[in-house]
Amino acid sequence: MSYRRAVTSRPAAGGGRWVEVDPARVARWVEGFADRHGPPTTTEQGYGLLLAAPDGATAELHTPPGAPAAVDVPGFVAAAAAPRRLGLLLARKGAVAVGVADGTELVVSKVDTRYVQGRTAAGGWSQQRFARRRDNQAKAALGDAAELAVRLLLPAASGLAALVCGGDRRAVDTVLADRRLAPLAAVRAGRLLDVPEPRHAVLVAAVAAARAVHILVR
């Protein structure tokens, strides 16, 4: 999903749609919601704010990673847009990207790739041999990813508002299972970014994705 646009949208499971809004556009989006559905009431929730309009429409504003809770829309907008330091860990197969963002700027970054053999259509002993080789390559790649996180992210852990991860959840979980990375795992955000194979351009785009406000509209 591209974050070049200020607003993106996708269907939500169970009905409605998820809207992802740049923090600078949240106030305008709320104004548009009120224009379409009537002035909403605002209720603080565990995830953020619930806007309930007179016509029955609702909008759940989910607090973005690292931002403090707010009791009203102006406070929510200010918190979402405020600069904060976020760690980024993107992992998928044989590639990993780590970075630190200060506000909207990526100030630390490193991308590493390691060959992991693809699946083979061969059967029997040959298929098992290739599968073992692929598993060993994947484990070695994730081990390298953990070392990279130790070198670049761990020193910044105490100053991070949150760690935002992306890519393959199992790969990310494996990296963060390293005991040395416990301080990073402790500030891991619930959000998992849907990203392609990590590259520097993907890591740059992940900064906006990590800061975006997720709104569930029904």
Phi, psi of 79 (to 5 degrees): -65, -40
Nearest to 137 by CA among 158, 114, 161, 121: 114
Q: Which amino acid is at 100?
A: V
What would the two tokens of residue 163 be?
């760690």
User: Which residues face 33 on adjacent strands?
Assistant: none
pLDDT of residue 8: 83
Q: What is the pLDDT of residues 157-215, one digit of tens each?
A: 999 999 999 999 999 999 999 999 999 999 999 999 999 999 999 999 999 999 999 99
CATH code reported for the domain at 85-210: 3.30.420.60
Helices (H), the chain: 26-37, 73-81, 124-152, 169-176, 182-185, 200-211
Q: Confidence band (pLDDT; 50, 70, 90) for 142?
A: low
pLDDT of residue 126: 55
Percent of the chain exceeding pLDDT 70 equals: 83
- Number of C-alpha atoms within 13 angstroms, CB side, residue 74? 0
Domain ranges of the chain: 7-82, 85-210
Q: What is the pTM of this model?
A: 0.84
User: Which residues face 189 on adjacent strands?
Assistant: none
Q: What is the pLDDT of residues 104-128, one digit of tens each?
A: 999 999 998 764 445 544 555 456 6
**Average pLDDT, rounded, for the chain:** 88
